[in-house]
């Protein structure tokens, strides 16, 4: 068994290297690629995806998994020495092998090529605020995504197969149970907040020099523990984090001159993702295991850093004096307490990545409902903008004025990432549980007021190692059922 697992690790190292090469091309497409280069870039991505598919579905990998005892009944294989890391490794390889062997190579490469062109079309459509430029690309992506779900197989709905790619072992029905539990409470709570005293956040809507926004953001990044010897920060149409190598995890954000929160909280959010990716132990770095437990757990990191830490009073007791040095004119008459209230203002808004903590999950539930309808075919792509606007009015009480602040604001569907959106809300809920545990172990107010963010990172890395995703998912359902 020792020889079998070492051989398997050698084969899957090539898989990881190919994934990183694909990520490098994708990162280039989203940051520095010339607009007219999209044609060959799409072909490059499709070619590498095809090679990757051949690697992970090779008959040798199948034989090695069989030799190691991996099966539907024992996906982790059979290890007499009880090696937890190797058992987890075999489970993840078996999971990928099982899924990928159900997908035709032709479909994999078609999806990669279509997604590359679709993302480029989305960027142009968003700039022009013109959904019709994106519509045919989304229709193509949807057609291929349905074929993908059918090939993988599912328990109850097509959406199950897509959701499982991002949040393993959870079903659409279980997510529905969770969202149905929180949506009425959120709607009622937002109504109560709307009747309270209005918060002045007009000082956040002044012109903030972008170069100074970036300089302040980089200072926070460094304090959080993100090192530029293992990554970089760039600008993209939609903020993201990507792993290009075992010691190469890159972040992007976007800035607005007249809305300060966009850039900074985007940086903190993506840094949460980056720190998670950079925190894997030496025993699994470069291994197929070093990719995160699930996107829900990944989002628990980014959302915890962005909201629970980054919007806290303690955080700004330390950082607000520094921020005033960067923007003395904008903030000279704004007290720290007023600033704290302003960045935490609750008010329904149109852009998901700029939404406050209370209304954010409604943005996710809206997208979750729409993409289920798109996948099932009960909603056509042509009717999507109107459906988006109606749900926005129903959920948030406001209407987008154009496609860019409505149906075109997110990149996910252009990538074919159907099933991704629920992980943001699940991440909020996971993060709340982890943060509750963290507050029992650490004097959070003292740590934040001293700017000692490294202590928080140390706790997160030590505690998150023990996370068992299915148990955490079940605990969510139990908690919400008890509250109901």
Residue 95, strand partner residues: none
Residue 251, strand partner residues: 233, 241
Please state the length of the chain: 484
Q: Is 432 exposed, middle or buried (0-12, 13-18, 19+ CB in 10 A)?
A: middle
CA-to-CA distance for 262 and 253, rounded, in angstroms?
A: 8
Count of CB atoms within 10 A of residue 111's CB?
22
CA-to-CA distance for 93 and 99, rounded, in angstroms?
A: 10
Half-sphere exposure of 107 (CA within 13 A, CB side): 17
In the set 92, 110, 167, 270, the catalytic residue is 270
Q: Which residues contact 334 (CB under 8 A, 6 or more apart)?
A: 203, 342
* Residue 270 designated active-site: yes
CA-to-CA distance for 483 and 475, rounded, in angstroms?
A: 12
Count of CB atoms within 10 A of residue 426's CB?
28
List own/partner pairs for 263-266 with CB under 8 A and 24 or more apart.
263/210, 263/213, 263/214, 263/217, 264/213, 264/216, 264/217, 264/220, 264/310, 265/306, 265/310, 265/311, 265/354, 266/239, 266/353
CA-to-CA distance for 346 and 187, rounded, in angstroms?
A: 12
Q: Is 191 exposed, middle or buried (0-12, 13-18, 19+ CB in 10 A)?
A: exposed
The two beta strands, 241-245 and 233-235, are unpaired
Helix (H) or strand (E) holding 251: strand 248-253
* CA dist 326 → 43, 213, 227, 343, 453 (Å): 44, 8, 22, 17, 21
CA-to-CA distance for 404 and 31, rounded, in angstroms?
A: 19
Catalytic center residues: 270
């Amino acid at each position: 068994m020792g020889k079998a697992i070492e051989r398997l690790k050698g084969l899957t190292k090539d898989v990881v290297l190919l994934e990183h090469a694909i990520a490098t091309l994708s990162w280039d497409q989203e940051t520095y690629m010339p607009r007219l280069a999209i044609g060959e870039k799409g072909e490059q991505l499709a070619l590498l995806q095809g090679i990757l598919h051949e690697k992970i579905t090779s008959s040798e990998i199948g034989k090695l998994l069989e030799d190691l005892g991996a099966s539907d009944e024992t996906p982790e294989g059979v290890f007499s020495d009880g090696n937890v890391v190797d058992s987890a490794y075999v489970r993840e390889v078996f999971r990928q092998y099982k899924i990928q062997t159900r997908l035709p190579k032709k479909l994999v490469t078609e999806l990669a090529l279509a997604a590359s062109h679709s993302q480029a079309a989305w960027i142009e459509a968003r700039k022009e605020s013109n959904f019709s430029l994106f519509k045919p690309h989304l229709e193509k992506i949807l057609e291929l995504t349905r074929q993908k779900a059918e090939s993988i197989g599912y328990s109850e709905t097509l959406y199950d197969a897509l959701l499982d790619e991002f949040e393993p072992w959870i079903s659409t029905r279980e997510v529905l149970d969770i969202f149905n539990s929180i949506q009425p409470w959120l709607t009622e709570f937002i109504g109560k907040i709307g009747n309270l005293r209005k918060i002045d956040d007009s000082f956040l809507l002044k012109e903030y020099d972008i170069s100074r926004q970036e300089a302040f953001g980089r200072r926070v990044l460094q304090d959080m523990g993100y090192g530029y010897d293992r990554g970089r920060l760039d600008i993209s149409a939609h903020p993201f984090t990507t792993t290009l190598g075992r010691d190469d995890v890159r972040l992007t954000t976007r800035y607005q001159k007249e809305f300060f929160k966009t850039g900074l909280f985007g940086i903190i959010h993506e840094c949460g993702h980056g720190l998670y990716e950079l925190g894997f132990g030496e025993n699994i770095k470069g291994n197929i295991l070093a990719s995160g437990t699930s996107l829900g757990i990944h989002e628990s990191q980014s959302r915890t850093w962005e909201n629970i830490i980054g919007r806290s009073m303690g955080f700004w007791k330390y950082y607000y004096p520094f921020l005033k040095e960067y923007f003395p004119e904008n903030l000279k008459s704004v007290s720290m307490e007023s600033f704290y209230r302003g960045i935490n203002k609750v008010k329904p808004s149109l852009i998901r990545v700029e939404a406050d903590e209370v209304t954010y999950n409604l943005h996710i539930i809206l997208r979750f409902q729409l993409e289920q309808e798109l996948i099932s075919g009960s909603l056509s792509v042509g009717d999507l903008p109107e459906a988006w606007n109606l749900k926005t009015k129903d959920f948030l009480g406001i209407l987008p004025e154009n496609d860019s602040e409505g149906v075109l604001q997110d990149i996910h569907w252009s990538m074919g990432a159907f099933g991704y959106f629920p992980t943001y809300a699940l991440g909020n809920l996971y993060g709340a549980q982890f943060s509750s545990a963290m507050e029992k172990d650490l004097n959070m107010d003292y740590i934040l007021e001293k700017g000692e963010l490294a202590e928080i990172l140390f706790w997160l890395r030590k505690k998150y190692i023990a996370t068992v995703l299915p148990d955490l998912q079940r605990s969510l359902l139990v908690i919400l059922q008890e509250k109901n």
